[in-house]
Every structure is written in structure tokens, then in C-alpha cells.
Amino acid sequence: TGSSAASVAGSSIQRDAIRTAKSTTQLNEKMAEELGTPCEDECAMDSYPNMPPSVHPGVVTGQAMVDLLNHAKENGYAIPAVNCVSSSGINACLEAARKNDAPVIIQFSSGGSQFYGGKGLDNNNYQAAIAGAISGAFHVRTMAEQYGVPVILHTDHCAKKLLPWIDGLLAASERYYEKHGEPLFSSHMIDLSEEPIEENIDICKDYLARMSKVGILLEMELGITGGEEDGVDNTDVPLEDLYSKPEEIYQVYKELSPISDMFTVAAAFGNVHGVYSPGNVKLEPKILSRAQEYISEKLGDDAPADKKPVSFVFHGGSGSDLTDIRESLGYGVIKMNIDTDTQWSYWEGIKNFESKYHDYLQTQIGNPEGPDKPNKKYYDPRECMRSAETVTVDRLEQSFGDLRCQKILGLGEMGEATNVLESSVFGPRKGGLPV
């Protein structure tokens, strides 16, 4: 999301936590096999040339997710985490991941989940948000295999009032686990940063105990992320609340570790939701380095050799300076959240399409080529939506590059899609699929 906080977990997110669950390192059955859909080329692969053998095409959970995150930590890259509100946005993320030969994290906020379910659906008890997130999860599970990329399926900020939403998703994951030996979702974030730290930790301990039984990773937040996003307005919070202290991070680490190592902590280091003019946001990535040093000192002989006992997540990468992003990678960042920039890229694609074909989009019949010329091929929603997707794919390529998350899987370049109907606007190809 456009929040800039940092998430931390045990430097090598411990594998023992996953082994307490029934989740296996490989899926027992691909989604394509369960649904009877075609599964060829990358989809049919069980692993990747350059990745740990547990990491496979499709949604990764449990040990496979742990191995993927550890691979990022050990190889100095971070995985883009993109908020999605539609199947079109999800497909753009998957296409971008394959084009960059890389993993990706797809995540839903509560508001995005509700939108995915439909704004016309009643959301009492968060029923629309629960159903929407589950629907999105099954779309990701179905299509991630087809694109041949590994995906971590995550949910974003969940404040105290939104906990019933997460409860519904956990119940769905537990049912899914009983049938498939893995959870529906890979991880969830619970954001109780506005609550007293003791209450924050106590509630997270309860959720971690429940999640760890099925191999779900918990992400919690310390400190407050500034700005506004998804109905949460923190534009006027005191400046000191935007920066976490190493002592607080260690307190969480110390209290959650006895339950499970499958947790991360979002530690604020001056980040703000949204995009602002240069100079208005002062990031302090060295807070991450100081936390690594402090916790390493507390761990003593148990600290890892690289003195990076935690894995950080950079929340709110949109609009962040490349220097800050690259500096944070040096401190063990393995994930960066993106929302505002991809919201803009999706809109920009629609805006550019409307601008280019404005005179063909005013009436159903009649355009500069003649008063009787039909405009169906221009106002077909697939045209402007595909424009939105391609601009978003291009924008995400920048993010993958910024995070050094390119040519990771070892698949090589993505081939051109075949037997695909080309845009009617740019001239359909003979023999293409029918509309």
C-alpha cells in the first residue's frame, strides 16, 4: 500500500514454525488439475531453475513462502506487493511478474475486497469484503499457475474494527487447509498501531497462535503510517509517531517468537501513504539498520552471522526515492508495498485511451470517418481496460527494477501470446479468437 512502514521477521524466517503444520513443500495438486484447466509450459513446472525446489508456479504458502522470502533476503532483492481491486488489476500484476521473470505479492485491503465483491452488495459484518477477498483469492490461485509465476497472497492493513473481516478469511483458510493441506491465503496483516502497544501485542499473539497452526504468516505494525489510504486518515499524527524505536521492535520480537517465528512487524520509519512533493516526506531507512544492530546485540550468540536477524518490509513504496529504496534493501528489506503508483498507472492508461480516441467515444454511431460509422470497437470496455493494464505493466517493470527483482526465476523472456484477438482499434488479426 502507499504506507511506508517496515515489516520484520526472524532473519531466516524459521522453517520449524511451518513444519508444525501439515502444509507440504509442494502442492499436492495444482489448481489446474483440480479444475481441469489446461496447464502447459511454465504452468506445468514443479519448480524453477534458480529457486529453492519448494517454490512453484501459483500461490505459495507455508514452507514454500518461507523459502521464497529467505531467497530474497539472501540474494538482496525485494518482492513488489501490489494492492488489487479487480481481476484486471490482478492479471496486470501477473503479466508484469512473468515479463520480469520474478515472483510477486498480490494483496487486498478491506475496501478493495469489498469493491471486488461489488459495491452493490451489503457489507454488514463485512460479508462483502470477506466474499470479495475470497473470490479474488481463487482468481489469483487459478491464474497465477497459468502465468507460471509464484505469488504470495496477502491482505493489507486490518485495524481493530476490521478484525471480523480477517476472522472470516481465516475461517475460509482453515476450511481450505482441511481439504488441501495448505491455507487459502499466504499471509495477513493486522494493524493495531493506533492501540496501546500492550493491547497490540496481546491481540497479535492470539492471532499468531491461530495462524501458525495452518502455516499463515502474520504481519503486524508498530508506529503509525502517515497520510491517507482506504478510509484511514493519519495526516495529522504527531511526527514522533511516524518513527519506531528498536526497543519496541525487540519487544514484539521477544513476545511473539515463543509462539511462532511466522510473523513480521511493520515498523514506521517516516513513511506516508500516497505521493507527495519532494521534501515533504522524510524517510529514515537507517532506523532499520539500528533495529538490526539492537536486536543482534540482544540475541548475542544466537544472532545470525550477517547481523541481520530480521527481515523488513517496506510499506508504501509509491513515490519513494530510489536512493531510499536501495538503501533499505541493504538493511534486509524483502518486500515493498505499492498502491498509489499503480492506481495512477491504471487510470493513466484509461485517460490516454480516451484522449487518443475522444472523437470516437462520444456516441455509438458517428465519428470523424463519417456520420454512419459505428464506434463499438472503441467503447468496448476491453479496449480501455487493456490500455490500463499495459500502462500498469510498464509501471510495475520500474518497481521490479528498483527492487532488483528481475531475472529471478530463471525462465527467460516471456513469449508472445498466440491465438489472441488483437485490439479492434489497432486492427484485428485474421484467425483470432471471436469476440
E strand intervals along 4-137: 5-6, 58-59, 79-83, 104-108
DSSP for 358-403 reads: GGGSS-SEEETTEEEEE-HHHH-HHHHHHHHHHHHHHHHHHHHHHT
Residue (of 299, 377, 307, 345) closest to 80 by Cα position: 345
Dihedral in degrees, nearest 10, Cα atoms 322, 140, 134, 59: -80
**CB count, 10 Å around CB of 185?**
29
Backbone dihedral angles phi then psi of residue 314, each to the nearest 5 degrees: -90, 100
Angle at 321 between CA 317 and CA 323, to 5 degrees: 115
Contacts 24+ apart (CB under 8 A), 235-243: 241/268, 242/268, 242/269, 242/270, 242/271, 242/272, 243/268, 243/269, 243/270, 243/284, 243/287
**CB count, 10 Å around CB of 19?**
13
Say which of 101, 156, 324, 341 is annotated catalytic.
Answer: 156
- Residue 156 is among the residues annotated as catalytic for this protein: yes
Backbone dihedral angles phi then psi of residue 67, each to the nearest 5 degrees: -65, -35
33 HSE (CA, 13 A, CB side): 9
Rounded distance between C-alpha atoms, residue 81 and residue 322, angstroms: 17
Rounded distance between C-alpha atoms, residue 30 and residue 362, angstroms: 46
Answer for the pair 318, 341: CB distance below 8 angstroms, yes or no.
yes
Rounded distance between C-alpha atoms, residue 226 and residue 249, angstroms: 19
Residue (of 17, 23, 16) closest to 183 by Cα position: 23
| Residues belonging to the active site | 156
